[in-house]
Amino acid sequence: MDKRMFILILLLLGLVSVAVAQIVGSQGNEYLSAYRLGESQGQSDVSAPLWIGIGCLTGGVSAIYPLLASPNAPQAALIGQSEEFVASYSDGYTKGHKSAIQKNSCIGGVVSWAFLSSFFIFDYLIYGLD
């Protein structure tokens, strides 16, 4: 009797833990999917050629812009959603938007510095240090 009761209790605890894990896992997946959705939307809202051009003009200094300003997630995507979805989507949108701006600004800065460096090297090779 004691062994059967012990095995029955273990089985019930196992079933309860599986059910709780699935409930918690589904909530985590919703948070993660909202975060990823916001992150991809934030990245796609950035105009890559514009920020590469700004990076070229500023020598990559524009990469600090996302540290100073924080974008807001579009409200149309948040209407009728749960609080967890809104928080997760907003976090993902902000991170994706900032990282895309920084990446494209740095690309522009590298292009600018490479062009200027090659210009001065060729200028030195052609005209010397007169």
- Structure confidence by residue, pLDDT tens digits, 64-113: 888 888 888 888 878 888 888 888 899 999 999 999 999 999 999 999 99
Task: Report DSSP state, residue 72.
Answer: P
Per-domain boundaries in the chain: 2-127
pTM given for the model: 0.70
Given its phi and psi angles, is residue 79 left (phi above 0), alpha (psi -120 to 50 degrees) or beta?
Answer: beta
105 near 60, Cβ under 8 Å?
A: yes
